Amino acid sequence: MTELRRALGLGDAVVVGLGAMIGAGVFAVFAPAAAVAGSGLLIALALAALVAYCNATSSARLAALYPESGGTYVYGRERLGPFWGYLAGWSFVVGKTASCAAMALTAGSYLWPEHHRLVAIVAVLALTSLNYFGVQKAAWASRIIVGFVLLVLAAVVVSGLAADTTQYERLQLDGLHLSGVLQAAGLLFFAFAGYARIATLGEEVRDPARTIPRAVPIALTITLITYAAVAVTALGVLGPARLASATDPLADLVHAAGLPVLGPAVRIGATVAALGALLALILGVSRTTLAMARDGHLPRPLAAIHPRHRIPHRAELAVGLIVVLVVLVADLRGAIGFSSFGVLVYYAIANASAATLRPGRYVVPVGGLIGCLVLAFALPLRSVVGGLVVLGAGAAVYLLRRAWR
């Protein structure tokens, strides 16, 4: 059987994670989060980061032990049993397919709003083609994208620091509601979830037992610092109320800071970030699809590996096609909430799996498990109900197929 090529080093793995995390979410997620958390946005960000840290630590421990494509699908299968592995894989594939559609639609909305779905479809097809020719080319594309987006965000933060700082002095924590903070944390978690892409590439990373546990915390730390700087700047310049009502918060920020010339750069940065996140998402979803196809939970032909490029080419093409279909009918904000629910369930299973590794090391995985479940059910009711229905359908398919066999 043709194997995947181990072409990614530590820097490549970190960049893949950054490409997935520092995506379009940083340009859009602060507004809906501020709408429910108000001045508690920073508390919500810290809470989302804490849950993400627990998840990242659990994922890194498991990835070192099981350096295979599939991430928590493999960990759940090996530590908790086949059903839990399947449920994790199903949650990831369905949730992240929605994320792919959301990122594609975001890019379309910035590039050509009147024909955003057409642009989104072209973006999906182009990035699927790029992934088809090898993971190393995708990693180099991610380097360029991440570098550009970080430069744009640095310019946003610097412009905010140079602006009138009276809003910084007015920030208060009055009128906080726990439900609002938790819901905002659940929405903000959407922007942190990209480190899973590192674990799902386990068979394409050199020395995965050493590389993955190092790459995950590095990528997460860089992302947290970046998000915290942007959040503080946005609150300081715009204030919670204005930030909550902004349709393009970072563009509004540079305008309020007296530097409207940076507006086009911010919009280009948002587009590039969305494309970078989409690139990394297609990589991760296709690798989990590969792992599930190997075990017969998805059609076995999807487990085929290209003899020359040594990538799961059928899985990537299938993922690209499904994302195109979702783009035709998807609602952007609904896709984000639905994706957050699925990914939080995915990480809940990762933490439960990690809790079985070593006696006496329960604090991080149990904390992560509880945090994931709390944030998942704090999301908007529509996202929770939709997520439960889809998870229930997946579980029913598994049980019916098992009974048939």
Give the residue carrying structure tokens 């973006």.
123
Structure tokens at 85: 């592995």
What is the sign of the dihedral through the CA atoms of 144, 331, 25 and 166?
positive
Specify whether the CB–CB gap between 231 and 34 falls below 8 A.
no
Q: Dump pLDDT digits (tens) for 235-251.
A: 888 888 888 888 778 88
Look at residue 2 in the predicted model and tell me its pLDDT.
Answer: 56
Give the range among 58-72, 309-323, 359-373, 388-402 with minimum mean pLDDT: 58-72
User: Rounded distance, CA 379 to CA 71, Å?
Assistant: 24
**Residue 239 in domain:** yes
33 alpha carbon, distance to own chain's centre? 16
Domain count of the chain? 1
75 versus 212: the higher-pLDDT residue is 75
Structure tokens at 120: 């989104």
Look at residue 368 in the predicted model and tell me its pLDDT.
Answer: 95
User: Rounded distance, CA 166 to CA 163, Å?
Assistant: 9
Parent domain of 62: 10-404
**Residue 3 in domain:** no
Query: Tell me, what DSSP letter sits at residue 258?
Result: T
**Residue 326 in domain:** yes
For the segment 68-85, the average pLDDT, to the nearest whole number, is 90
Q: Which of 98, 84, 96 is nearest to 348 (CA)?
A: 84
Structure tokens at 42: 């920073």
**Residue 386 in domain:** yes
Alpha helices in 201-262 (DSSP H): 208-245, 249-256
**Residue 2 in domain:** no
Q: Dump pLDDT digits (tens) for 31-60.
A: 888 988 988 999 999 999 999 989 988 988
User: Rounded distance, CA 62 to CA 200, Å?
Assistant: 11
Q: Which of 341, 396, 370 is nearest to 193 (CA)?
A: 341
For the segment 295-323, the average pLDDT, to the nearest whole number, is 89
CATH classification at residue 397 = 1.20.1740.10
**Residue 5 in domain:** no
pLDDT > 70? residue 201 = no
**Residue 1 in domain:** no
Percent of the chain past pLDDT 70, that is, above it, reads: 90
pLDDT band (50, 70, 90) for residue 165: low
User: Rounded distance, CA 357 to CA 362, Å?
Assistant: 9
Amino acid at 157: V
**Residue 4 in domain:** no
Q: Which of 158, 377, 131 is nearest to 265 (CA)?
A: 158
Q: Which of 374, 402, 400, 398 is nearest to 91 (CA)?
A: 398
For the segment 367-377, the average pLDDT, to the nearest whole number, is 96
pLDDT > 60? residue 168 = no
